[in-house]
Copies of this chain bind each other. A is one copy, B any other.
Amino acid sequence: MRAVVVGATGYAGQEVVKILARHPEFEIVALTSSRQQQEPVSDIFPYLSRGPSVFVDPKDLSDMEFDWVFSCQGPKQATPYFFEWIERGAKIVDLSADFRFQDIKVYEQAYGSHPAPELLALAKAGYADDPTMDYDNAMRILGNPGCYPTAFYAAVAPLIAQGQSLPLVIVDGKSGVSGAGRAPREHLMMAEMVENVTPYNDPGKHRHTFEMEAVTGQTVVFQPHLMPMARGMELTIYIPNSSLSANSVVELWQDYYDGNAFITVLSPGQKPQTRRVRDTNRIELGVSADERSGTLVLYSALDNLQKGAAGQAVQHVNRWMNWPMELGLE
């Protein structure tokens, strides 16, 4: 399969390239970059022995043949090209937010006007670890989820599937700085972030809140924080007034993710660590029940660039193509 990575020099794009380079079914035929156009690919990917030699512009793709596009730029940037690429037969995994919402009204609330509403009918959004996800024949675009919602989904979806209602969920999110992208900004500099922990955004204002609320169908109080590290993300999810025991949550998770090697369910008492999932496509899930207050506490840790972006994208393609889900991701 001939793959193109659009936005290959951003952090998610770099990670897609790294995975495709070792994936047995893919050959990288083009890499685009707005910031490093016409610069040597070896500047960013010294380990790539085959493939394109310079970064190109998305426009330059009109001369090329390819089967898959991994689109890794920010919202609205590459989407206008999707018409042409689909017409020429390509399938697209979109890592921007443009195809994460079935309901265009929700998209508009979070991101403003949609760059290509006509394409929504060809697109499907979902989580690669969702056992019920259906990759049907009409699909041409896969809307890859956000990093925080992926960690949230993993912990909460099995409870929803079993019929739990979660009227109030409080999500304390903790993320390494790579989640904010590669464009230089002062508050992301090493000299500012060493020995620094800080909340950012007001609760409920981060745009990933919409994706989380689509999981529960109810209000989610989501407060993200920046951590003094590059990669990794941990959510601590507080569910007041819950009667579920820690053991029953463990069982729900084990059933829901049966056979999924990417989900590690920890025993009550154990806690996830972002270090252990770094550079992997795995999620670690843990749970405690605070009996004194009736509060259930869930923990979910992943690598924001792998499972939270590039790894999940490839996992989606593996499932879409009926390849083993772990191909290129072990």
Contacts and interface: CB of A to CB of B under 8 A. Distances in A.
Contacts of A21: 330
Interface string A262-298: 0010100101111110111010101010101101010
Contacts of A272: 198-199
A128 B67 CA distance: 38
A192 interface: yes
Interface string A231-244: 11010101010000
Contacts of A191: 11, 176-178, 182, 188, 230-231
B236 A269 contact: no
A283 to B, nearest CB: 11
A227 interface: yes
Interface in A203-249: 203-204, 219, 221, 223, 225, 227-232, 234, 236, 238, 240
Contacts of A182: 186, 189, 191
A172 interface: yes
Interface in A121-169: 168
Given A194-B275, A275-B194, A203 B288 contact: yes
A238 B221 contact: yes
Contacts of A219: 292-293
B278 A195 contact: yes
A219 to B, nearest CB: 5
Residue among A189, A199, A284, A301 with most chain B CB within 10 A: A189
A195 B275 contact: yes
A215 to B, nearest CB: 16
A307 interface: no
- Within the oligomer, what is the number of copies of this chain? 4
A49 B330 CA distance: 11
Interface in A1-19: 11
A22 interface: yes
Given A46-B284, A177-B190, A196-B232, A203 B261 contact: no
Contacts of A172: 172, 236, 238
B230 A195 contact: yes
A299 interface: yes
A185 interface: yes
Contacts of A227: 197, 227-228
Nearest to A45: B276
Contacts of A202: 269, 288, 290, 297
Given A176-B195, A199-B234, 13 more contacts: A11-B191, A47-B282, A182-B191, A188-B189, A197-B301, A198-B234, A198-B274, A202-B288, A203-B297, A204-B290, A221-B297, A223-B288, A223-B297
Which 7 residue pairs spanning A and B have beta carbons closest together? A196-B275, A184-B184, A194-B230, A172-B172, A178-B191, A190-B193, A203-B290
